[in-house]
Amino acid sequence: MFRAALGWAGRIVLFALIGLCFAPTAVPPLLDRIYYRGPASDHFDGERFFNPGQPPAVAGSARRLFSRWAGQRMEWPEHVPVRQTVPPRHAASGEMLVTWIGHATVLVQVEGLNLLTDPIWSETASPFPPIGPERVRAPGVRFEDLPRIDLVLISHNHYDHMDLPTLRRLWARDRPTIVTSLGNDTILRGEGVSSYALDWTQKLYMEGDAPQVLNADDKIEYICDGSAWQCGRRFEVVAERNHHWGSRWIVDRNRALWSAFTVNTPAGRIFFAGDTGWGDGSWAREAARHGPFRLAILPIGAYEPREVMAQSHVNPDEAMRIFDALNPVTALGMHWGTFQLTFEAIDAPPQAIAALARARGIAPNRFVTTEVGRTFRAPAAR
């Protein structure tokens, strides 16, 4: 009974947040925050970021969402059993190990590098825990069983992607290199966590313990001329355009940027889409220029109803379009089955991806939708 009451309270909070996002001027300006100051650009007007040439990423009617919730929202189970795993400390030379931990959190291991995307171990994705969307799947790896993390990517500042309790624990334990988008470093700094904030097309090059933030056309100044890992950690992270929005406190909407990322490692390139809508798809075609990709980590869930979610989250058909644009050796579908944020059934996203792959003759191991806690090896070539 108590859990059910908390669940309904969480839904009320979720609806309140969604509703207020449609009318930010109705909220007292004291909730606003300035995370970034800089010159105007093709995606920053001097105050707020935006998706170039596209409508705002939150569209539709909050009233329609409220009225349809009871009638069209599919019920999820309160709990899905998870078989947790203990990953190896490191991957072997040339190997790329991939473990979906839940939601947008993925552990990727290559030689000399353990990478986490949008890490969240919290039980709720909310500014007011324990009220808010609750996990139905436990993390596929216990936090205590994580190997030492070298690199963390944070795509944007929504609570299900920038989980401050988890990030504080990671920072205290491992002091990883944290890469995010412009403005989000301000939020992290307030928590005592250091990070590197990139604009779209900027890149962070790490060689040993000497990171360099570079613009797209800057040449890399190599510190060591040895082979890939003789100098310690070596990788490059490029901030890629995607199609989304950001907010922590409703009226601070789009004060910080959102991004996808390409990670270049000696074992191959990794693309992490973060949280994104399709927009006009040009961002995916732009990112494809930084391939070829050994692994693409793509969102496939939280997409119904489309009149509300289309500008924020891709559906499985659009995720397949991103797959086509990037043409990776392997893709992993994430952002489903962990927190109920929208209307579709809990297993609808992987079922839709599997059906699309079958219809198009795509091998099942090319677009993977695994259970959390299972580790697979990303092949180096088809």
pLDDT tens sequence across 76-95: 999 999 999 999 999 999 99
What domain count does the chain have? 1
Q: Which residues constitute the domain of residue 30?
A: 2-377
pLDDT tops 50 at residue 20 = no
pLDDT for 37 equals 97
The Cα–Cα gap between 7 and 13 comes to 10
Q: Does residue 249 form part of some domain?
A: yes
Q: Does residue 8 form part of some domain?
A: yes
- Indicate the helix (H) or strand (E) that contains 261: strand 260-265
CATH number for the domain harbouring residue 191:
3.60.15.10
Average pLDDT for residues 156-160, to the nearest whole number? Answer: 97
Q: Does residue 26 form part of some domain?
A: yes
Three-state secondary structure of 67-122:
HHHHHHCCCCCCCECCCCCCCCCCCCCCCEEEEEEECCEEEEEECCEEEEECCCCC
**Taking the model in full, what pTM does it have?**
0.89
Q: Does residue 287 form part of some domain?
A: yes
Collapsing DSSP states into helix, strand and coil, what is residue 268? strand
Q: Does residue 382 form part of some domain?
A: no
Query: Would you say 53 and 172 are in contact if contact means Cβ atoms under 8 Å apart?
Result: no
pLDDT tops 70 at residue 23 = no
pLDDT tops 80 at residue 111 = yes
Q: How confident is the model at residue 59 (pLDDT cuts 50, 70, 90)?
A: very low
**Six token digits for residue 122:** 């919290």
pLDDT for 268 equals 95
